[in-house]
Amino acid sequence: MSQRPDRIDITDLHNPVLTPTQEQVLAFMSANPVSFSEEGILGAAREQTGLSDFGADDFRERLNVWIQSIEEDVDASAVTRFNLYQMCVRYAVTRLRLEDLIRRHPEILDIKIDRPIIVAGLPRSGTTHLLNLVSADTRLRSLPWWEAIAPVPAPEDEVDAAGVDPRWTRAQEGWQQQDAALPYMKAMHEFSPDHISEDIELQAIDFSSYLLEWLAYVPRWRDYYLSHDQTGTYAYLKRALQAVTFLKGPNRWVLKCPQHMEQLPILYKTFPDATFVISHRDPVASIQSAITMSCYAARILRKDVNTAQFASYWSDRYERLLRRCVRDRDCLPAAQTMDVYFNELMTDSDAVLKAIYRRADLPLTPEALAELHAFIDAHPRGKHGQVHYDLRRDFDLAPEQIRERFQFYFERFPSVTVEVR
């Protein structure tokens, strides 16, 4: 790899040169393998919490499809398997605590999630930046990473005298470990404790969403997920939001997940009074960014870095997502919906923000605008370095080879600007 202070060029995607830390992580995980089973995961969650009520049992079928899909991923490294096992236990633990909280406080289910602002858009299309930017408005509720991975505190999670939540401390430790193992990841997708998370973390408590696809090669799960109605999981997302709002308001949320692009009718049915912000970008630029990020992480997450497989899978997956978006976009009420284009967001964020706030019927006060500007000043693009992307060198692909399959998307949204040539 080579880099200047403001440029990161990852030149070893095909044949990674591991750092000593990466070698140590792989060696440790290989020496401590994990095994997957429904009872092993749920039993570990029961043991951690002392609780036993998981709520509706339909999630078990999905958990077992997760397990089967993970077991079929023969190139998943010991690191991936360990991470996925811990993730499954974490979601099961959260589900137990969430159901226990609602059982003790049934009034939670009466809480109104009031006119949320929901961002949907291609992965790697500026949605994370937009989410974090709007979340800087302290009048709105959002989900920082430390809370997303432990939305219901354990009884022992008491804030200390300095006002620090133990969940934040654990998230910080996890972030430091990830940063040590994959130091360039923060330039592509940051997971620091206060970074605002996608609501997909709350959907995953129901063992659904497309999240698993980003963590392993799981075509079985992809096909299962796409062929099953997600109404129940979106209802569980709302249930989780009500519980987290009960713990700490306010109740007007800003949410975001690229997956919403392929679930627009269900998203609207679940949050009928929302403001929907649909983010658009040249799919080639988005895919280029996504597969470079995934292949960089693959040096410790995969036994073999198959760049062609990443490019093929995600080009296909983006097409599926965008075809559903084009099909369903007009199900959203025009008065509650606006399209945001990546180039406009990057060049004139104030104009985009003002339009969003008008659509959301939320005054963009001088105080709120000052908060948003403070966030922009503290988080300039390329804060952790600017990654250099090269489709031809790294994936043996010309941009037009990918772009030709997305002509339908450009026809539907002609304001999308071609970025990669």
Q: What DSSP letter does each residue of 225-280 carry, written as one string? A: HHTS--HHHHHHHHHHHHHHHHHS--S-BEEE-GGGGG-HHHHHHHSTT-EEEEEE
Q: Once rounded to an integer, what is the mean pLDDT over residues 343-366?
A: 94
Which H helix or E strand runs over 387?
strand 386-387
DSSP assignment letter at 144: B
Q: Three-class SS of residue 3?
A: strand
283, part of any domain: yes
At 40, is the pLDDT very low, low, confident or very high (cuts 50, 70, 90)?
very high
* pLDDT at residue 106 is higher than 80: yes
56, part of any domain: yes
Domain extent at residue 250: 20-154+176-412
Instruction: Say what angle helices 127-135 and 349-359 make with each other, to 10 degrees.
Output: 70
DSSP assignment letter at 121: E
Q: Which residue has the tokens 């470990």?
A: 177
Q: Three-class SS of residue 401?
A: helix
251, part of any domain: yes
264, part of any domain: yes
**In angstroms, how far is CA 240 from the centroid of its own chain?**
16
299, part of any domain: yes
Would you state the pLDDT for residue 4? 44
Would you state the pLDDT for residue 3? 42
120 within 8 A of 264, measured Cβ to Cβ: yes
At 380, is the pLDDT very low, low, confident or very high (cuts 50, 70, 90)?
confident
Q: Once rounded to an integer, what is the mean pLDDT over residues 257-279?
A: 97
How buried is residue 131: exposed, middle or buried, by Cβ count under 10 Å (0-12/13-18/19+)?
A: buried
| Residues 6 or more apart whose Cβ sits within 8 Å of residue 102 | 108, 109, 239, 243
If you compute the radius of gyration of the chain from its CA atoms, what whole number of angstroms results?
21
State the amino acid at position 198 in one-letter form. E
Q: Once rounded to an integer, what is the mean pLDDT over residues 320-336?
A: 97
259 within 8 A of 199, measured Cβ to Cβ: no
Q: What is the pTM of this model?
A: 0.95
Distance CA 366, CA 157 (A): 37
418, part of any domain: no
Q: Token pair for residue 142? A: 């959002």
113, part of any domain: yes
pLDDT per residue as tens digits for the range 3-27? 445 899 999 999 999 999 999 999 9
Q: Once rounded to an integer, what is the mean pLDDT over residues 268-285?
A: 97
Would you state the pLDDT for residue 167? 97
In percent, the amount of the chain with pLDDT more than 90 equals 92
Closest CA to 242 of 362, 120, 116, 136: 116
Q: Token pair for residue 37? A: 């089973």
Q: Which residue has the tokens 């658009």?
A: 280
pLDDT per residue as tens digits for the range 155-206? 999 999 899 999 999 999 999 999 999 999 999 988 999 999 999 999 999 9
15, part of any domain: no
Would you state the pLDDT for residue 125? 84
Q: What is the CATH number of the domain that holds 230?
A: 3.40.50.300
**How many residues does this entry show for the chain?**
421
DSSP assignment letter at 58: T
Would you state the pLDDT for residue 5? 52
Distance CA 280, CA 169 (A): 35
Would you state the pLDDT for residue 309? 97
Q: Token pair for residue 304? A: 């073999």
* pLDDT at residue 1 is higher than 60: no
- Residue that wins the pLDDT comparison between 62 and 378: 62
Q: Three-class SS of residue 117?
A: strand
Q: Three-class SS of residue 347?
A: helix
DSSP assignment letter at 214: G
For the chain, helix (H) and strand (E) counts, in that order, are: 19, 7
Q: Token pair for residue 335? A: 């008065």
Number of domains the chain contains = 1
pLDDT per residue as tens digits for the range 124-133? 888 989 999 9
| Residues 6 or more apart whose Cβ sits within 8 Å of residue 4 | none
pLDDT per residue as tens digits for the range 228-267? 999 999 999 999 999 999 999 999 999 999 999 999 999 9
Distance CA 54, CA 205 (A): 10
**Mean pLDDT estimate for the chain:** 95
